Amino acid sequence: MIDFSPLTTTVKTLVQAPWGDLSLARPWWLLVWVVLLPVGLSLFSPRTRPQLWMPRTEALRALPAGPGVLWWVVARVLLLVSLALGVFALAGPQAKGQPDPGSMEGIDIAVVLDVSGSMRAADFKPKDRLHVAKSLIADHVFTRKQDRISLVVFAAEAVTQTPLTHDTRMLNTILEGVRTGVLKDGTAIGDATAMGVNRLRDSEAVSKALILVTDGDNNAGTLSPEKAASLAETFGVRIFPILVGRGGRVPMPQGTDFLGSPRYVYVNVPTNPTLLKHMALTSKGQFFSAESPDELKRSLQQILEEMDKTKLQSGPMLRRPIPLYPFFMLLSLLALLLHLALSSTRASSIP
């Protein structure tokens, strides 16, 4: 069955939005109208009109134009309208949609992502740990539009990328740019967890969750993971660690060969699932492994959905642009079809 909901939304937006809200994403396409102007004038040239030459035409010329000439004009007007609407659609017309609600029922979530050098290990060859971790976050956390989410990244030190926000588009954009090698190398799980807790400490939400995505071996920082887990429990933050990595000897990228393909050397990169399970137990959370994506998706989403919701303020109301090109492209197509229908019947140039 054909889904007409996008077109319905477009038409509704076009009707409700003030004309001052309309804008063009690619206005330079309107320059094509400069070319269309002489083309349009040529369509109405007398030489293009249907003609029937006879030996003596003075009397025929004195006769009034018949309905065929009118249909001929209408057909060419439709062709010109079709071209003009098609160009306008290519210019990307858009209007501001209805404001997003200023508050939603949800929970507050801090995502704490490990970007240390060990996350380059290609356990999931050819994908490395960081790639898998970012995919898990994008698929299972940043799809939750009703919750406020903060992003913290860490290696030997922790850095807040975003405060709590409903803007999942911004979160995904920032997440795409996250990479290893930017922060001093190391894995400060305790310090990073404490920073995530700090992002949630003053939250008015009833339920607060900290999703820790790491390979699970703490070797840097000043605060122990156990102490950070106790701090989370004090502020009512439940920790949900997700272990990314198998541990032991794993392939680590080391340059490329003469064909440009990545070379790997096997090194010992330990993981520490016991530590992560202890942090989850202390804070009344739950431990997960990236090696079981189906269980992770099912269980984590279920747990987050069952947590008590709070009406959360999302800041200033946003009005996202809604593309209108499907509507104008449809009008262009309809005008073209009418032109073709008339050109082969009433407006045909063949006597």
Token pair belonging to 61:
């010329």
DSSP E strands in 115-157: the ranges are 148-154
DSSP single-letter state for residue 251: E
Q: Label residue 174 by pLDDT band (50, 70, 90).
A: very high
Q: How far apart are CA 69 and CA 50, in angstroms?
A: 8
Q: What pLDDT does residue 223 have? A: 93
- Residue whose pair of structure tokens reads 């077109």 in the numeric block: 7
Q: What is the pLDDT of residue 82?
A: 86
Local confidence band at 335 (pLDDT 50, 70, 90 cut-offs): confident
**Mean pLDDT confidence for 205-222:** 89
What pLDDT is recorded for position 251? 77
- Res 102: pLDDT: 53
Tokens, residue 312:
């959360």
* Residue 338, CA distances (Å) to 74, 82, 283, 327, 332 in order: 10, 10, 68, 17, 10
Residues 199 and 151: their CA atoms lie apart, in Å, by: 9
Beta bridge partners of 165: 149
In this predicted structure, the answer to whether residue 195 has a pLDDT above a threshold of 90 is: yes
Comparing CA positions, the residue from 270, 220, 210, 218 lying closest to residue 241 is 210
Q: Which domains can be identified in the chain, with CATH numbers?
A: 5-98+320-343 (no CATH), 103-313 (3.40.50.410)
Torsion on CA atoms 53, 56, 61, 63, rounded to nearest 10: -110
- From the list 302, 350, 349, 347, the residue with the least C-alpha distance to 78 is 347
**pTM for the whole thing?**
0.61
Residue 235: pLDDT above 90? yes
Q: What is the pLDDT of residues 11-56, one digit of tens each?
A: 555 545 555 567 788 888 888 878 777 776 666 665 555 555 555 5
